[in-house]
Amino acid sequence: MIDIKFLRENPEIVKDNIKKKFQDAKLPLVDEVIELDIKNREAKLNGDNLRAERKSLSSEIGNLMKQGKKDEAESIKNKVQEINEKLEENEKAEVEYSEAIKEKMMKIPNIMHESVPIGEDDSKNVEIQKYGEPIVPDYEIPYHGEIMEALGGLDLDSARRVAGNGFYYLMGDIARLHSAVLTYARDFMINKGFTYCIPPYMIRSDVVTGVMSFEEMDAMMYKIEGEDLYLIGTSEHSMIGKFKNQILNKENMPYTMTSYSPCFRKEKGAHGIEERGVYRIHQFEKQEMIVVCEPEDSWNWYDKMWSYTVEFFRSMNIPVRTLECCSGDLADLKAKSCDVEAWSPRQQKYFEVGSCSNLTDAQARRLGIRIKGENGNYFAHTLNNTVVAPPRMLISIVENNYQPDGSVVIPDVLRPYMGGIEKINVPVK
C-alpha cells in the first residue's frame, strides 16, 4: 500500500505506474481515493470543530450553574446534546470514509523501481546474467518424475489415491536428498549471518491481507474452515507477520532471518497441476530468507539476497540464470523482483527455482511495521527471497547429475548430509 500523501500530491505518477502494469481498470481508484480523502479530511475538521464547540459550551454550563442560572444552563445542555448527535453521525462518516479509502488503497499497486522493464506478462521478462555453463549430455535424460520413480523415490499414484493430483510420496534416498538440500540451505544461510527460524504454518486474515494482494490471496491460500486461519503459501507470510504493529529500534536493524516451512498453494489459475512430476504442486517445503531494514539499505539487501541464491545453486554446480521480472509480471506489492532459474538439460531451457523481491514500505505500511526515529516513526522496508524450494529443487539435481546407467551423483556439498554416499543407484530387483 502506497502513502496516501504521495498519492494526493502525485496522482499522475500513481496513474502512470498503474498503466505500466497494464491494469487500466484500476485507474479510477486514484480519483476515487482523492475524492474520499477530501471528504474524510472535511469530516475530521468538522469533528474537531464540533468537539471544540462542545468543550466551550460545557465550560459555559458550569459557569451558569454556579451563578444559579439553571434554565439557561439547561438550554445550553440541549445544544450540547445536539452536538453529541452530530458528532456521532460525523464519526460514523469518518469510519466509512477511512474504510473505503483503505479498501481502494489496498488495490492500488506499489510504485515500481524505475529500472523495472515494461511488459505485459512473463514472456517479456529480461535475462540479466547466466552463471555456469549449461550442459546437454550426449545421452537421453528421462523426465524427472521417471528418474525418481526408477530410483524408488517417488510414488505419485498412491498420492493421487490419498489426496489427489498435486501431491506426492518421496521415499528412500530421494526423500533423504530432499531433506539434505533443506538442511544444507539452513546452514548456508546461517553462515551468511541470518537467524534461523521455524514459524507458524497458519496465519490470521489480517496478516494475509498485510503481506499480499487480494488477487494473490484468492489464487493461493487455503482457508481453514470455521477458523480465522489460512495455511501459509510461503514462510515469508508468517515471518513478515512476526513484526506486525511493532515499532522497531534503529540499533536492532536490520532483521535478517531464514526460515523453514511446509507451503500450501491452491495454484488457482495456474497452468494445471502436474500429474507426472513435482514441478507444480499443492504442497512443498522451502527455505526462505527475509530482511526488515532501513529504507536506505533495502536495495543493497536486494542485490545481496538474490546473489545468495545464485551462490547456493552454483555450490552444487547447477547452472543458473537471473531474470528481471517485467511490470506486468510484478505482483502489486513488489517494487522490483528477479527470478533465479536453474538449467534443465532434458528440456534444454531454464526453469524458475527462486524469486527475490523488494516490497519497499508496501507490506510495512499494511502491517504497521515502523522504525523509531529521532524525528518520529517511519515505515521499514521488507524483502524476501527463496533460498531453495524442494521438491522442485530435486528436478535440477537429478537432471544435472543423471548418469547413463540411471544413477544420480550427489553434489559434493550435500554428501555430508547424506551419510557420505556419493550416488543414488537404481535398486536391484
pLDDT digits (tens, 9 = 90+) for 191-239: 999 999 999 999 999 999 999 877 788 888 999 999 999 999 999 999 9
Phi, psi of 59 (to 5 degrees): -65, -40
Instruction: Report the pLDDT value the prediction gives residue 275, as an integer from 0 to 100.
Output: 61
Instruction: Report the pLDDT value the prediction gives residue 236, as an integer from 0 to 100.
Output: 94
Instruction: Report the pLDDT value the prediction gives residue 274, as an integer from 0 to 100.
Output: 57
Query: How large is the angle between the packed helices 27-66 and 70-105, nearest 10 degrees?
Result: 160
Instruction: Name, of 47-61, 68-82, 317-331, the range with top average pLDDT.
Output: 317-331
Distant-in-sequence contacts of 134-142, Cβ < 8 A, 24+ apart:
134/319, 134/343, 134/345, 134/348, 134/350, 135/319, 135/343, 135/345, 135/400, 136/345, 136/348, 137/345, 137/402, 139/404, 141/345, 141/346, 141/399, 141/402, 142/346, 142/402
Encode burial over 277-316: b for 16+ CB neighbours within 10 A, e otherwise. bbbbbbbbbbbbbbbbbbeeebbebbebbbebbbebbeeb
- Asked whether residue 241 carries a pLDDT value surpassing 80, the answer given is yes
Strands (E), 236-318: 247-249, 255-264, 283-293
Q: Are 277 and 145 in contact (CB under 8 A)?
A: yes
What are the helix (H) ranges across 67-126?
70-105
Band of residue 54 on the pLDDT scale cut at 50, 70, 90: confident
Band of residue 268 on the pLDDT scale cut at 50, 70, 90: low
Q: Which amino acid is at 171?
A: M
Length of the chain: 429
Region of poorest pLDDT, from 25-29, 377-381, 424-428 = 424-428
- Asked whether residue 327 carries a pLDDT value surpassing 60, the answer given is yes
pLDDT digits (tens, 9 = 90+) for 82-119: 899 999 999 999 999 999 999 999 999 999 999 999 99
Ordered by where they begin, the domains of the chain are 4-105 (1.10.287.40), 122-424 (3.30.930.10)
